[in-house]
């Protein structure tokens, strides 16, 4: 049998079921981008909320693919979440009330966006889905934006969908919904708000003025490691629940959702289910980027050089584990200011525990992708702050040197290098001679990665050369 509302009673014991009557759930949220992370993260918070407030069911909208709708529509939106820890916990998530696909269900989507009962529109469409230019503002030369301006009632981008939905609410005299970005993009809400307003202003300045005055675009930050669904998970879930589930998902037990405290009146009480509401999302983002992501990148490059394959395997290497703990406590933590609601030392300890989780098979090779884009935010900001404080940078610099050695190894062996700057990096890697001064200087000349003042700092260069030679 297939998992569905009708077969829910056949789910085997030991699996958590929705703690509410699904027949009483109404749609209060439209979400664009129902991928695995959203269904493992935000939809689970909403699932918890429905036990006390049934007005926040989710209408999921896929912009480019019918795959999620095809998998979950026969299941009445139900799916299984496997929380991977020392013991795996399975639960059936019931917060998805309906599924729609852009290009196929356009009018139904528009009706939902105009519905007064819908008070929150959220999205996980990746940074690429925002159609932003290099300056962080809307790219009016993007094909989807050009289409949105030419045919606003048939949007191509999520920006166009939000703008048209707001236009219909304004025309009908319906209060605006709040728009909540859940993508890993610094200042995501503010950037989204600027993009939607800019699109509206090109065709309807009065609508743009209304959006600026009435619509809230809070920033947010999300975190939970969510490995891809594979055949092994599908088989494991089928054996555990006794039913077929076309698209179960998995994630680690840890999850975090931080939202700028400006959701507005009538918003869901997300704080009641563990969401952190704050006036300083940026401080949480900085802590995540430097403690979690900076440690991840350092572990990835050093672990790969030492022959490891996964994060958990690398954490079994006592040298790397000690190095990572020292990096976080002695170098990263002094550069951070704790926002209200975040205990930084406890957060760092939680991150190390998450890295040790043997149930999560997180490949180092995947973390190593796009190093040219990641290092400035994950490690170089920490290094710049430490230098300004006249503090040691030994371990943070080691992570950068390990990236350089990784690039050289990939280039000289002809192995693939997944990075937007792969061509230039491969040329540099092949030109490296093994002499630390020569090789470090070749990398440091990449101004889009290394700011001029940092590349010219003798302390930074000396640390890089020392670490590069030692590796």
Q: Is the pLDDT of residue 349 over 90?
A: yes
pLDDT digits 0-9 by tens, 143-160:
999 999 999 999 999 999
The share of the chain scoring above pLDDT 90, in percent, equals 96
Domain boundaries, the chain: 8-278, 282-470
pLDDT-derived band at 134 (thresholds 50, 70, 90) equals confident
Three-state DSSP class for residue 62? strand
Q: Is the pTM of this model over 0.85?
A: yes
> What are the E-state strand segments in 167-230?
178-181, 220-223
| CA 10 to chain CA mean position, Å | 34
How far is it, in rounded angstroms, from Cα 265 to Cα 151?
32
pLDDT-derived band at 256 (thresholds 50, 70, 90) equals very high
Three-state DSSP class for residue 357? coil
Over residues 251-261, the mean pLDDT reads 96
Class of domain 282-470 (CATH, top level)? mainly alpha
Q: Is the pLDDT of residue 365 over 90?
A: yes
DSSP annotation of 184: S
Which pLDDT belongs to residue 34? 97
For the chain, the first-to-last Cα distance in angstroms comes to 55
pLDDT digits 0-9 by tens, 167-215:
999 999 999 999 999 998 889 999 999 999 999 999 999 999 999 999 9
B/e letters for 70-95, b = 16+ CB within 10 Å, e = fewer, are: ebbbebbbbbbbbbbeeeeebbbbbb
Which pLDDT belongs to residue 86? 83
Q: Is the pLDDT of residue 301 over 90?
A: yes
Over residues 106-126, the mean pLDDT reads 97
- As a residue count, the chain comes to 471
Q: Is the pLDDT of residue 361 over 90?
A: no
What is the helix (H) or strand (E) element at residue 464, kind and residue range?
Answer: helix 458-470
**8-278 and 282-470, same CATH topology:** no
Please provide the average confidence, as pLDDT, over all residues in the chain.
96
Over residues 309-317, the mean pLDDT reads 96
Which backbone phi and psi does 201 adopt, to 5 degrees? -65, -30
Span 8-278 CATH architecture: 3-Layer(aba) Sandwich (3.40)
């Amino acid at each position: 049998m297939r998992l569905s509302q009708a077969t829910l009673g056949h789910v085997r014991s030991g699996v958590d079921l929705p703690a509410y009557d699904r027949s009483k759930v109404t749609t209060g949220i439209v979400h664009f981008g129902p991928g695995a992370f959203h269904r493992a993260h935000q939809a689970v918070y909403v699932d918890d909320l429905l036990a006390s407030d049934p007005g926040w069911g989710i209408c999921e909208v896929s912009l480019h693919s019918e795959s999620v709708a095809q998998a979950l529509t026969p299941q009445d939106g139900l799916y299984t979440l496997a929380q991977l820890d020392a013991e795996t916990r399975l639960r059936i998530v019931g917060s998805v009330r309906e599924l729609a696909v852009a290009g196929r269900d356009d009018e139904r989507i528009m009706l939902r966006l105009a519905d007064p009962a819908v008070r929150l529109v959220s999205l996980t469409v990746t940074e690429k889905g925002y159609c932003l230019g290099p300056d962080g503002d809307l790219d009016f030369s993007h094909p989807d934006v050009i289409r949105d301006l030419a045919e606003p009632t048939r949007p191509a981008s999520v920006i166009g969908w939000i703008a048209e939905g707001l236009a219909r609410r304004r025309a009908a005299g319906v209060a605006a919904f709040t728009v909540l970005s859940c993508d890993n993009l610094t200042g995501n809400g503010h950037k989204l708000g600027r993009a939607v307003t800019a699109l509206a202003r090109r065709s309807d300045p009065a609508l743009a003025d209304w959006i600026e005055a009435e619509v809230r675009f809070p920033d947010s930050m999300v975190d939970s490691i969510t490995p891809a669904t594979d055949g092994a998970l599908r088989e494991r879930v089928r054996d555990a629940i006794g039913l077929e589930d076309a698209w179960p998902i998995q994630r680690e037990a840890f999850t975090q959702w931080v939202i700028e405290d400006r959701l507005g009146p009538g918003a869901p009480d997300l704080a009641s289910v563990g969401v952190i509401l704050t006036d300083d999302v940026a401080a949480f983002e900085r802590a995540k980027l430097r403690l979690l992501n900076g440690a991840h990148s350092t572990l990835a490059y050093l672990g790969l050089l030492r022959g490891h394959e996964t994060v958990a395997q690398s954490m079994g290497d006592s040298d790397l584990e000690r190095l990572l703990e020292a990096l976080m406590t002695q170098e990263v933590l002094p550069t951070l200011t704790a926002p209200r609601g975040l205990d930084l030392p406890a957060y760092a300890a939680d991150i190390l525990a998450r890295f040790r989780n043997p149930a999560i098979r997180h490949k180092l090779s995947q973390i190593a992708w796009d190093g040219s884009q990641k290092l400035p935010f994950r490690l170089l900001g920490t290094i710049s702050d430490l230098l300004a404080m006249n503090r040691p940078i030994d371990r943070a610099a080691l992570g950068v040197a390990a990236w350089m050695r990784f690039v050289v190894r990939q280039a000289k062996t002809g192995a693939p290098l997944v990075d937007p700057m792969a061509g230039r990096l491969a040329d540099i890697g092949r030109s490296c001679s093994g002499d630390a001064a020569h090789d470090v200087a070749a990398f440091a000349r990449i101004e889009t990665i290394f700011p001029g003042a940092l590349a010219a700092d003798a302390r930074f260069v000396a640390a890089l050369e020392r670490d590069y030679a030692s590796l």
